[in-house]
A and B are shown apart, each in its own frame.
Chain A
Amino acid sequence: MELLINLSINGLATGLLLFLLASGLSLIFGLMDVLNFSHGALFAWGAYAGVWAYSVTGSFVAGIAAALIAGVVLGFLLERFIIQPVYGNHIRQILITLGMMLVLNELLKVVWGPDQKSAATPSYLSGSWLLGDVTLIKYRLFIIVVGLIVFVLLYYLLNHTRMGLIVRAGVINKEMVQALGINIHRVFMGVFILGSALAALAGALFAPYSGVIYAELGMEFAILAFIVVVIGGMGNIVGSLMAALLVGLTGAYLAYFVPELSLAANMLLMAVILLWKPSGLFGVKR
């Protein structure tokens, strides 16, 4: 029982991190039709920026802030100078975001060195609570709480504000939104920056969770995030959350019981979904 609860908490924490990564990816894809392969690099940049700022200032909050700033700045630069020029050409977009993934990853190594970095957990979040005979690790609960707060905020933003209305309308039909006199390109940029900041936040939260960070991290998580996006459906926040929790939980259980299968199981799940319902479990057919 204790084991199951612990595994579930692990799975939920990983799942919510994946949600942070996948929600941006999914929104960007749904709205802009851009499959952003450099999304994982933003995750890694968030992790490095967070660890670096935390070690310099000694404040974990400053680390999170640094990660968010890195995400916003990189997101802006990417959208403005890399994605915009090739807008509307799918193949070039995919190719160029992959190239940027490479460049950003290598830049990480140039700035912070090619070796693994260890990441500390702030004292007020380390340790655990004992609930009966179940140990609850504080930091994992913290990730879960932050992830859920972000989900609620995103959900509110998308469903109860004018901005969210425009974004949702853009996902369904961007020509129509444009015809109504809204500068869709500005919306694109906003969503792209938001997605990048979420990815960087996920990275910053992930660093103390795993204890070590390295540049290839981004790629590994990006693959999981792609799986989440395919399962959850593109451009759908609730779907992303459900799929992220599903992938996180299966990952956690399988990593404990049959570690060889953990990646394979998620891939298999994706393959089944692609065969059976390509628009994703929670996706809207377009």
Chain B
Amino acid sequence: MNRQTARLRWSWRHALFLLGVLFLAAFPWISESRSMLILLTQVFILAVYAMSYDILLGYTGIVSFGHAMFFGIGAYTVGILLKRVDDTLTVILMAVVVAIVLAAAVSFIIGALSLRLKSHYYAMLSLAFAGLFLVVAEKWRSLTMGNDGFTFTIPELLRDREMFYYISLLFMLVMYGLLRRFIQSPMGKVLEAIRENEQRAESLGYKTLHYKIIASIVAGVAAALSGIMYALALRFVNTSVFAVETTLDALLMTIVGGVGTLFGGIVGAFLIEFAHHWLTNLAKVHWIFERWIIFFGIVYVLIVLFFPRGIVGTVQQWLAARSHKRRPSGGEKTGAAQELNRQPQLSHKPKL
């Protein structure tokens, strides 16, 4: 009986999800607003960035304060290659490969250095490394044009805003699917076990360091991909992609949306980007709105203090409580992320 009600509820959520996707797909026909189209494109791209961060923070319990560096690696790779080599799709593919390799290498190095230590060290080391990347991007002027950044042309195919909108939407959906697949895999379950209790996971025979490094590589690569899309959307890249603010965007989106829910990254990206847009417009009314970061900062602190689950997590918890189907380990486990084709029996027994 339980399974039946569960399936009913999941399909209801599934329908809602499909409805949302259909709405977004139809959006360019419904609305003429060009700025809204661009804003939504940004939201899709940043949602992937936020979800990549959630792999670290929400699923593995690793705090990174340098996530912007992967985003920036993607953005600069595609920008530099398109500018220096040629503006064709092949070059973009090349950039994807280069960015993936670079992001994987960097996250491997940082992870190998600091993930065997307490969580503080990864936070510190990633912050410091991101600072290093920022300095390099500022100082290596011959390649990056420093602070001013540079513009570049993109292949004909991607220049149409509507086309790019659909590509971004598809990008978000594909990445959502892939990342969800990743966290639902046995591998992802081990990551959650590490988040819950690292020592216990270790005593079950898992080499937690390896798993944590893999998680950081997956997150880094996904962030680099979103960085590529971001640069393509702007056709411009400057040092702001490496700035602390970009890392904070990831933190805000993930935490406001809901840590450990994956879907929360999408919700967070929507909210933060729209709020940002709206607050920047308000800056004309009063100068204090120019300091919009302060509002985000305060909201962020309040959420960490009072709603550590974020929006999606809180809603899930509420739904779970309402349907008397709460599992002992809390809301995250009944994630909107993992609904649907959940096999009746668990396929991932701990290999003892």
B-side interface size class: 35 or more
B323 to chain A, nearest CB (A): 28
User: Is the CB of A4 closer than 8 A to any CB of chain B?
Assistant: no
Interface membership of chain A positions 83-111, coded 1 if the CB is closer than 8 angstroms to chain B and 0 otherwise: 00110001110111011101100110110
Asked if residues A95 and B127 are in contact (CB atoms below 8 Å), the reply is: no
* Residues on B with beta carbons closer than 8 Å to the beta carbon of A96: 301, 304-305
**A86→B127 CA distance, assembly (Å):** 22
> Which of A168-176, A202-210, A263-271 contacts the other chain?
A263-271
Given A274-B117, A278-B117, CB of A102 within 8 Å of CB of B300: yes
Given A29-B120, A110-B291, CB of A275 within 8 Å of CB of B305: no
User: Is the CB of A198 closer than 8 A to any CB of chain B?
Assistant: no
Asked if residues A94 and B132 are in contact (CB atoms below 8 Å), the reply is: no
Asked if residues A95 and B304 are in contact (CB atoms below 8 Å), the reply is: yes
Asked if residues B65 and A37 are in contact (CB atoms below 8 Å), the reply is: yes
* Residues on A with beta carbons closer than 8 Å to the beta carbon of B128: 223, 226-227, 267, 270
User: Is the CB of A165 closer than 8 A to any CB of chain B?
Assistant: no
A95 to chain B, nearest CB (A): 5
* Residues on B with beta carbons closer than 8 Å to the beta carbon of A98: 65, 248, 251
User: Is the CB of A219 closer than 8 A to any CB of chain B?
Assistant: yes
Contact among B65, B118, B131 for A263, CB-based, below 8 A: B131
User: Is the CB of B283 closer than 8 A to any CB of chain A?
Assistant: no
Q: Which of A234-263 contact B (CB under 8 A)?
A: 260, 263
Q: Which of A173-214 contact B (CB under 8 A)?
A: none
**A94→B308 CA distance, assembly (Å):** 13
The dominant DSSP class at the B interface is helix
Asked if residues A274 and B113 are in contact (CB atoms below 8 Å), the reply is: yes
The dominant DSSP class at the A interface is helix
User: Is the CB of A73 closer than 8 A to any CB of chain B?
Assistant: no
Given A226-B127, A267-B128, CB of A102 within 8 Å of CB of B304: no
Contact among B114, B119, B135, B244 for A274, CB-based, below 8 A: B114
* Residues of B bordering A, CB below 8 Å: 57, 61, 63, 65, 113-114, 116-121, 123-125, 127-129, 131-132, 135, 139, 244, 248, 251, 255, 288, 291, 293-294, 296-298, 300-301, 304-305, 308
* Residues of A bordering B, CB below 8 Å: 29, 35, 37, 82, 85-86, 90-92, 94-96, 98-100, 102-103, 106-107, 109-110, 114, 219-220, 223, 226-227, 230, 260, 263-264, 267, 270-271, 274-275, 278
A sample of 29 cross-chain residue pairs with beta-carbon separation below 8 angstroms, ordered by A number, consists of A29-B120, A37-B65, A86-B304, A91-B119, A92-B304, A94-B63, A94-B123, A95-B251, A96-B301, A96-B305, A99-B300, A102-B294, A102-B300, A106-B294, A109-B291, A110-B288, A110-B291, A114-B291, A223-B128, A226-B127, A226-B128, A260-B139, A263-B131, A263-B135, A267-B129, A267-B132, A274-B113, A278-B116, A278-B121
What 8 A-B pairs have minimum CB-CB distances, sorted nearest first? A106-B294, A103-B297, A102-B297, A99-B301, A35-B120, A99-B300, A226-B124, A96-B304
